[in-house]
């Protein structure tokens, strides 16, 4: 049996990694996992239980969330994203979710996973690794437009400040920090629209898979 084809897509918030990962999964006919959704579910579970996402014990208890929570649209809210960033700093939380992500990556045929430590921790043997990035100004503008379309009244400056805080938290945590794997293809989407970013990602992964 041939080894599964694993594609790892990492990057900071609002870089476009989720959109790119979904497109790669569709292009290559592979299942896709947004691993950030798992951390959002943990953060949401902690909030529902009245816990403190900065407390390691409360955060770990949140990993016992029921699967139906993954379909809750509240997980996509900015507030839940902030909770996810806070619970993800705890090593015990990352360890608790490791096996779930690893099993998805190793399923027959392979998979596309996007997150912040896929190429470095979850699937370091991935056949292709992308690190999708963009300037904080570009990412903030994208996120602000998305939020404004949903009726969120936060200013562009507030969105940019929130992203800067998340970046600092994700990059400075002691366990599984956000960083590009040494063999990752770095794709800067600052000046690319959605279609151009997807096309660049597909071309890069196809070239890497050709070896």
CATH number of the domain to which 101 belongs? 3.40.50.300
Mean pLDDT (whole number) for 50-71: 96
Q: Are 187 and 208 in contact (CB under 8 A)?
A: no
Mean pLDDT (whole number) for 200-204: 97
For the chain, what is the domain count? 1
The yes-or-no verdict on residue 145 having pLDDT over 90 is yes
Helix (H, G, I), strand (E, B) or coil at 49: coil
Q: Looking at residue 211, what is its pLDDT?
A: 81
Q: Looking at residue 2, what is its pLDDT?
A: 57
What are the structure tokens assigned to 36, written together? 């950030």
Helix (H, G, I), strand (E, B) or coil at 87: helix
Question: What is the C-alpha to C-alpha distance for residues 53 and 33, in angstroms, rounded to an integer?
Answer: 23
The yes-or-no verdict on residue 27 having pLDDT over 60 is yes
Helix (H, G, I), strand (E, B) or coil at 190: coil
Mean pLDDT of all residues belonging to the chain: 94
Q: Looking at residue 6, what is its pLDDT?
A: 97
Helical segments of the chain, H only: 17-28, 35-48, 56-61, 78-87, 91-105, 136-149, 156-172, 194-210
Residues pairing with 188 in the sheet: 133
Question: 47 Cβ partners below 8 Å, 6+ apart?
Answer: 53, 80, 83
Confidence of residue 174 (pLDDT cuts 50, 70, 90): confident
Confidence of residue 1 (pLDDT cuts 50, 70, 90): very low
Confidence of residue 177 (pLDDT cuts 50, 70, 90): confident
More confident residue, 1 or 129: 129
Q: Looking at residue 77, what is its pLDDT?
A: 87
Domain boundaries, position 171: 5-210
**Residue bearing tokens 């929130």:** 162
Strands 5-10 and 32-34: unpaired
Mean pLDDT (whole number) for 64-76: 93
104: left (phi > 0), else alpha (psi -120 to 50), else beta? alpha
Mean pLDDT (whole number) for 140-162: 93
What are the structure tokens assigned to 23, written together? 């497109």
């Amino acid at each position: 049996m041939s080894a599964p084809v694993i594609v790892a897509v990492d990057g900071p918030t609002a870089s476009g990694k989720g959109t790119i990962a979904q497109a790669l999964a569709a292009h290559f006919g592979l299942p896709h996992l947004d691993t950030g959704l798992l951390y959002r579910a943990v953060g949401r579970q902690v909030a529902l239980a009245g816990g403190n996402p900065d407390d390691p014990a409360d955060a770990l208890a949140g990993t016992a969330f029921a699967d139906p929570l993954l379909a809750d649209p509240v997980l996509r809210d900015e507030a839940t994203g902030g909770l996810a960033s806070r619970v993800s700093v705890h090593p015990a939380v990352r360890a608790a979710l490791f096996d779930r992500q690893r099993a998805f990556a190793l399923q027959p045929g392979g998979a596309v996973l996007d997150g912040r430590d896929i190429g470095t921790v979850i699937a370091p043997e991935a056949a292709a690794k992308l690190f999708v990035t963009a300037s904080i100004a570009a990412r903030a503008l994208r996120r602000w437009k998305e939020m404004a379309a949903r009726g969120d009244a936060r200013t562009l400056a507030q969105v940019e400040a929130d992203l800067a805080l998340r970046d600092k938290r994700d990059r400075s945590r002691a366990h599984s920090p956000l960083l590009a794997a040494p063999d990752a293809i770095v794709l800067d989407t600052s000046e690319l629209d959605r279609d151009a970013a997807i096309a660049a990602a597909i071309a890069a992964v196809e070239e890497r898979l050709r070896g």
